[in-house]
Amino acid sequence: MIIIGEKINATIPKVRVIIRQRDKEALLELTKRQATAGADYIDINVGTGVGSQEDEIRAMQWAVQTIQREVDTALCIDSADPAVLEAALDARNGRPTLINSTKAEKSSLEKVVPLAKSYNVPLVALSMDETGVPSSVEDRIRACKNIARVCEKYGVLLESVFFDPLVLPISTDVNQGLVTLYTLMKVKETLPMAKTIVGLSNISYGLPARARLNTAFLQMAIFTGLDATIMDPLDKELMDAVKTAYVLLGKDRHCRGYIRAFRGG
């Protein structure tokens, strides 16, 4: 499982302050803790929503350069603005990087997919289009297929595309867990070379004991063949849930990973 650490996100008030004040120590601390906990990529989202595009570009350049000087972990550059993504790709010194993300919307696809091609980096693709997040499996798969077509056009291999079927809260529509799981399965079936990814925590919005739901849902998603997840790597319950699902699904030869983690427990 590829773990993408979600904690550097400017929609979180504390992180917004770190970005605004260019607090190098705090940024590195947040990065290092996630890397030590086992994150394969560090997500960087500096969009505070209030400033200009210029502000977001400068903040992204600062974050990328600050992190790559001190930490070896790969980066996941997170913005809805292709110009910010491009600035981030230019700011890095050849560090492996994942683009997060494009939507199945023409204006986004035609700018972001060429970036993945010319910088030769993988990319996250969201199964949403002009109309929002489709509520049915069929419509989400249609969005994924549209993305796959554009990738083919620009010569981006599906091996390096992580399709995100998106997760909506079950508190407002109890079928949404299933919609995400079936979409994950269907992506693997119709686009077998493609990778899959989910951001978990939205599933439990508005409900009590959220950790329970997040863990169970992650394990179900792993059963469908999930390749990557955007999550909090400092959440030990979740990290343990990954190891447990892996051994149960025969993905952990001789139970090595499981035993190493829980021997004596």
Partner 1 sequence: MHEQELIEKIAFNVVQGRIEAEDEGFDEGLDGQPAVTELLREALERGLDPRPIVIEGLSKGMEVVGGKFQREEYLIPDMLASAECVGAAMDILSPHLTKAGVESRGKFVIATVAGDLHDIGKNIVSIMLKGAGYEVIDLGADVPTERIVKAVSEYQASFLGLSALLTTTMRVMGEVIEELQKAGLREDIKVLVGGAPTSEGFAKQIGADAYCKDAFQAIDVLKNMSSG
The residue among 112, 64, 128 whose CA lies nearest residue 90 is: 64
Whole-number Å distance between alpha carbons of 91 and 94: 9
Contacts for 31-34 with beta carbons within 8 Å, 24 or more apart? 31/5, 31/67, 31/70, 31/71, 31/73, 32/70, 32/71, 33/7, 33/234, 34/5, 34/7, 34/73, 34/233, 34/234
132 is a contact residue toward partner 1 (CB under 8 A): yes
* Nearest distance in Å: CB 36, partner 1: 32
Task: Identify the residue among 13, 94, 192, 206 touching partner 1 (CB under 8 A).
Answer: 206
209 is a contact residue toward partner 1 (CB under 8 A): no
Total residues at interface with partner 1 (CB under 8 A): 16
83 is a contact residue toward partner 1 (CB under 8 A): no
The residue among 125, 63, 124 whose CA lies nearest residue 95 is: 63
13 is a contact residue toward partner 1 (CB under 8 A): no
Pairing of strands 161-164, 123-126: parallel
169 is a contact residue toward partner 1 (CB under 8 A): yes
CB closer to partner 1 out of 208 and 265: 208
CB closer to partner 1 out of 47 and 233: 47
52 is a contact residue toward partner 1 (CB under 8 A): no
61 is a contact residue toward partner 1 (CB under 8 A): no
Residues near partner 1 (CB under 8 A) are 48-50, 128, 130-133, 168-169, 171-172, 174, 206-208
